[in-house]
Structure 1
Amino acid sequence: MGLFMKKCFLVILIILLFIPFLVSAQKQPSGISSSKERVVLVTVEKVSEGMSFPTMMITGSAYFSESSEVAAESAGKVLKVYVNEGDAVEIGQPLASLDDSLLSYSVSSAEASTKQAKSNLDKALRDFNRNKALYNQHSISQQKYQDSLTDYTNAQSMYISSLSQQKQLETQKDKMVIKSPLKGVVISKNVEVGEWVNSGGVVAGVATLTYEAKVYIPETVLPYIKAGQSVTVKTSRKEYTGKVLSINSKGDPATRLFLTRIDLGQDPDLKEGVFVIALIPSGSKIHSLLVPRDAVVERNSVKGVFKVSEDERVRFIPVKIIGYNGGYAAVSSVTEGSLKKDDQIVLDGNNAVNNGVKIKITSKIG
């Protein structure tokens, strides 16, 4: 009997615990979800109008503005290598040195010869000055005076010759230390300690950390671009405002393309050989809708902007990029009339929204 009562008590307790949940479920209106709709915080900006150049996207590569394959001017065995690839270097900084033991001996010998020649010259000059004074006093013969002058002239020639040889040997010795001609970075190390390097053999490659883009533009855009003009250049990681350095006057007769160099400035994160896209003006300025570049996103390989509706939901509007004007993109809507001046479009937060998503505007620009 005691066991039966315990079981009954347990059943009643379980029923009492579930009653509040059953009552709550009955009070919940049918067809209404208890979860809240997701709302995305965004900033918006109005679509404007203005003038801009239509542009053409032209691909190319980034290059060092200046680079050098530093060669040895004398032959010799590599004694030391002071740098590795990637090291920063200053102008005149040693890259490597060659064995100069024989030249050091020759320089020491030349210094001794020059010292002796200078001593001989000083003595010859003293003798000449003394004999000149005696000759003016008619105390010595003209022959002795002439001999003294000849000795002085010969001593002077010997000293100049000896000094010149010493300087040449010192210069050769200095050349046994190969130095960087640029301030920048080491891009290649071509020798190791103990190797023999011939005169003209490359020891290391160095380059500045300033870059330029090289692209080949078609002749159709030549009327709309010139040296000194600012153009936008993009890599996979960054966007640059470059300046056109030069447009080659000689094009390729087969392709009608002209090499164009665009200064990208200094950037330690950029690398030579990086793929670039240059936005080159391809026509006269036109009037168009303008949207912030950052407002343009891509969905399923289609570029567009998110337009804000009156109920604070967003709709993706496909657009065609016509060109660029500073930080703005000149666009036209793919469907006529779907985007117009003063429409509000999502700026910050556009990567977090999709069609029909509810938004909350935190700030408005324009």
Structure 2
Amino acid sequence: MFPLKNLIKRLLAGALLAGVMALPIFAQDPAPVTVAQPEVRPAVERVELTGSFTARRAAQLSPRLSGLVETIDIDAGDAVAAGDVVVRLDDRLAELQLGQAEAAVAQLRASFDEAVRLRDEALRLGEDRFFPDTEIQARKSAVQVAKAALDVASAERDTAAERLARHAIVAPFDGVIARRLTEAGEWVETGTAVAELVAVDDLWLDVQAPQRLWPRLRQDTDIEIIVDALDGRALTGEVAARVPVSDPAARTFLLRLILPEADPAITPGMSARTVIRLRTDAAALLVPRDALIRYPDGTITLFTVDDSASPPVARQRQVAVGRVDGDRAVIESGLSPDQAVVVRGNEVLTEGQPVRIVEDGG
């Protein structure tokens, strides 16, 4: 009899103690949270790629004939303009040959002028029947022969002048000497590179882009170029070309970008990051990225506020996240557009915990 009474008393005491201990849990103050309303709009896919600046024009300067290097007045880093002489070959013999050719032209021009004078004289006398027709024809033929000889000599003179000009190797465009590849006194053959010239004010950025972007890239695509060497300065880029030859292994294609305005601080070889923003026509459900809670196993959840309770309570929902649009993430499933999400204070929330909205995150 007494043991049964003692057991009942102990059970009642334990239940009372458990109730007392549970009171602080149910009586805890609601957690302050900030919420934001999801957006429904066409999403912008943000794609980040890396690449390097390359010169649109670069040339290995080489002579068009063999010869001895007489002077070389450039070195690596020197800026040159189109038409500047960078290397000159020994041209003494070419100068002499040109002088001979010019003398021959002068001699034959005098012969031609004399032949013309004699022909005109014969024609004038022939009008009065004082000159035989055969002699007139002979003098006409002499003019033609003299003219042909003069033309040949003129062509030889032009050839000699061109040969002399080819002893000077000139810059074909404005740029900077990247490498000096010869020295005075060296013999160079036709086609031997003597210097490397790079146009540093005319650059493009080469990046390898995923094949899936091919049909979506246009010249007016929103592109931002971030140059790390310039303290992360962001510049506006434009699509210059899409090279259709893809890399089947990497499933990429070459995308070439340009800067609308040249920046002298950027040089060939500098690396850069590109941010490509691609708009889509389909509407998407977007929430602030701060609302997402990621777990090591890949699970992604967020908290909504159930205001049907008093006070409102937090409800944890597992969601499927698609692409990221700036500071927003596309929710593919697990959330309705009319459900506000917690963007601040969600780090320590638990399912069913009372909450108090202190700020609307928009």
Q: TM-score, normalised by structure 2?
A: 0.65
- Deviation of the 1:280 alpha carbon: 2.7
Alignment of 1:23-42 (within 5 A): none
- What's the counterpart of residue 225 of structure 1? 217
Dislocated runs of 4+, deviation >4 Å: 49-52, 285-291
| Structure 1 counterpart of 2:69, from 71, 78, 100 | 78
Q: CA deviation at 1:56?
A: 1.6
Aligned to 2:196: 205
C-alpha contact 1:128 1:152 (8 A) present in aligned 2: yes
How far apart are the structure 2 equivalents of 1:289 and 1:240?
Answer: 28
Task: Give the letter aligned to residue 172 of structure 1.
Answer: R
**Residues 216 and 257, structure 1, Cα contact 8 Å, conserved in 2:** yes
SS in 1 for 2:247: coil
Structure-2 residue corresponding to 1:247 = 242
Kept in 2: contact 1:54–1:322 (CA 8 A): yes
Q: Provide Cα deviations, 1:241-291, integer angstroms capped at 9, x if missing partner.
A: 111001112322333211110003422222222222222345627675799
Amino acid at match of 2:276: I
> Could you say which residue in structure 2 is the equivalent of 1:164?
155
Task: Give the SS at the match of 2:161.
Answer: helix
Q: Does 1:273 align with 2:269?
A: yes
Q: What are the Cα deviations for residues 269-327 of structure 1, in whole angstroms up to 9, with x where unaligned?
A: 22222222222345627675799xxxxxxxxxxxxxxxxxxxxxxxxxxxx9934xxxx
* Pairwise CA distance, 1:81: 0.8
Residue 342 of structure 2 aligns with which residue?
337
Q: Aligned with 1:337: secondary structure?
A: strand
Larger radius of gyration: 2
DSSP 3-state at the match of 1:156: helix
Q: Deviations over 1:33-75 (max 9, x none)?
A: xxxxxxxxxxxxxxxx887622121122110122222221111
Q: Provide closer, same or farther for how the CA distance between residues 245 and 111 of structure 1 changes in structure 2, counting only shifts above 3 A.
A: same
Query: CA–CA distance in 2 between the matches of 1:228 and 1:128?
Result: 72
Pairwise mapping of residues 29-178 of structure 1 onto structure 2 (< 5 A)? 53-178=44-169
1:274-293 matches, cutoff 5 A: 274-281=270-277, 284=280
**Count of aligned pairs:** 260
Pair 138,183 (structure 1): closer, same or farther in 2 beyond 3 Å: same
Percent identity between matched residues is: 21
Distance across 2 between alignment mates of 1:218 and 1:89: 39
- Cα distance, 1:289–1:152 mapped onto 2, change above 3 Å: farther
What is the Cα deviation at residue 201 of structure 1? Answer: 1.4
The secondary structure found in structure 2 opposite 1:97 is strand
In 2, Cα distance between the equivalents of 1:288 and 1:125? Answer: 93
Question: Taking structure 1 as reference, are residues 284 and 140 closer, same or farther at Cα in structure 2, changes over 3 Å only?
Answer: same
Deviations 1:221-243 (A, max 9, x none): 22321234341122212322111
Offset of residue 159 of structure 1? 0.8
Quick check: 1:51–1:288 contact (8 Å CA) kept in 2? no
> What residue is the counterpart of 1:258 in the other structure?
253
Instruction: Give 3-state SS (helix, strand or coil) of 1:284's partner.
Output: strand
Q: Gaps (5+ residues) in structure 1? A: 1-48, 292-319, 324-328, 341-366
Residue 186 of structure 1 deviates from its aligned partner by: 1.4
Task: Specify the SS of the correspondent of 1:86.
Answer: coil
Question: Cα RMSD over matched residues?
Answer: 2.9
Distance 1:184 1:51, change over 3 A: farther
Relative distance call for 1:282 and 1:144 in structure 2 (3 A) is same
